[in-house]
């Protein structure tokens, strides 16, 4: 049936390390979106999935795992080789140590009503590569190309047609997850009141919106415009 509508909600990385006041990579107002997301969780989504950034201590995205002078969180970038083909590389931003497996910073925030979540998916476990998109869990990266995604599989099993993405951070993991959802064949939306960005400037927000738009991701507002 062409007009079938089976929506899923994906809550990206609503974890302590991405939230003020103490998160290692706190996103401004990150914690404030929890009530909005809890309200969304009461709606009849056929699948409600939360993702967790879940890094080993030696993860390539941690600035402290690199040498001077290219080891400044937020401002340094690293060139990451494809583990399967060292001639192929990509450039990635470096971060403070965050969401280390088994640490309090990796926990979902207690404000999130996890009793309404069907499935939690961890991502970013491979220390060699950055993985913003939850569709890459456990392992699928553009420079690695070992396709396998628990997320896509569980959405397909549930017959999902439309994916609504919320959470943190809008300009990194939310954006990548939403763009991959389109690539996986889902109609995809980001709900603007239920996400916040690392770079919260108007200019950066617009850039992210534009990149999402170009990829076929729709930005929607609960309140309308």
Which position among 19, 30, 33, 53 is part of the footprint of ligand VGL (CB under 6 A)? Answer: 53
* 212 in catalytic set: no
In the complex with Zn ion, which residue's Cβ is closer, 13 or 45? 13
The one catalytic residue in 19, 99, 173, 212 is 173
Q: How many residues does the chain have?
A: 225
13 binds, among ligand VGL, Zn ion, none (CB under 5 to 8 A by kind): ligand VGL
Instruction: Give the CB-side neighbour count of residue 78, counting CA atoms within 13 A.
Output: 25
* 118 in catalytic set: no
The one catalytic residue in 47, 48, 123, 150 is 123
Which position among 16, 17, 53, 180 is part of the footprint of Zn ion (CB under 5 A)? Answer: 53
Question: E strands along 26-160, which residues?
Answer: 47-53, 77-82, 85-93, 119-123
Helices and strands (H, E) in the chain, number of each type? 4, 8
Which position among 168, 179, 181, 212 is part of the footprint of ligand VGL (CB under 6 A)? Answer: 168
CA 68 to chain centre: 29
* 123 in catalytic set: yes
Give the C-alpha separation, 171 to 131, whole Å: 13
Terminal C-alpha separation, the chain: 31
In the complex with ligand VGL, which residue's Cβ is closer, 6 or 205? 205
Interface positions with ligand VGL (CB under 6 A): 13, 18, 53, 61, 95, 132, 168-169, 172-173
User: What are the catalytic residues?
Assistant: 13, 123, 173
């Amino acid at each position: 049936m062409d007009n079938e509508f089976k929506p899923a909600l994906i809550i990206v990385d609503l974890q302590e390390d991405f939230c003020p006041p103490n998160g290692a990579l706190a996103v401004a107002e990150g914690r404030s979106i929890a009530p909005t997301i809890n309200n969304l969780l009461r709606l009849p989504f056929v699948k409600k999935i939360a993702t967790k950034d879940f890094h080993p201590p030696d993860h390539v995205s941690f600035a402290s795992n690199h040498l001077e002078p290219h080891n400044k969180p937020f401002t340094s970038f690293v060139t990451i080789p494809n583990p399967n083909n060292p001639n192929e590389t990509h450039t990635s931003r470096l971060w403070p140590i965050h969401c280390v497996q088994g640490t309090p910073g990796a926990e979902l925030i207690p404000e999130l009503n996890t009793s309404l979540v069907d499935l939690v998916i961890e991502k970013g476990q491979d220390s060699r590569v950055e993985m913003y998109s939850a569709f890459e869990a456990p392992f699928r990266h553009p420079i690695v190309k070992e396709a396998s995604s628990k997320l896509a599989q569980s959405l397909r099993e549930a017959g999902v047609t439309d994916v609504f993405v919320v959470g943190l951070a809008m300009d990194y993991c939310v954006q990548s997850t939403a763009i991959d959802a389109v690539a996986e064949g889902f109609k995809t939306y980001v709900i603007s009141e239920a996400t916040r960005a690392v770079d919260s400037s108007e200019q950066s927000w617009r850039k992210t919106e534009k990149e999402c738009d170009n990829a076929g991701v729709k930005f929607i507002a609960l309140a309308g415009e």
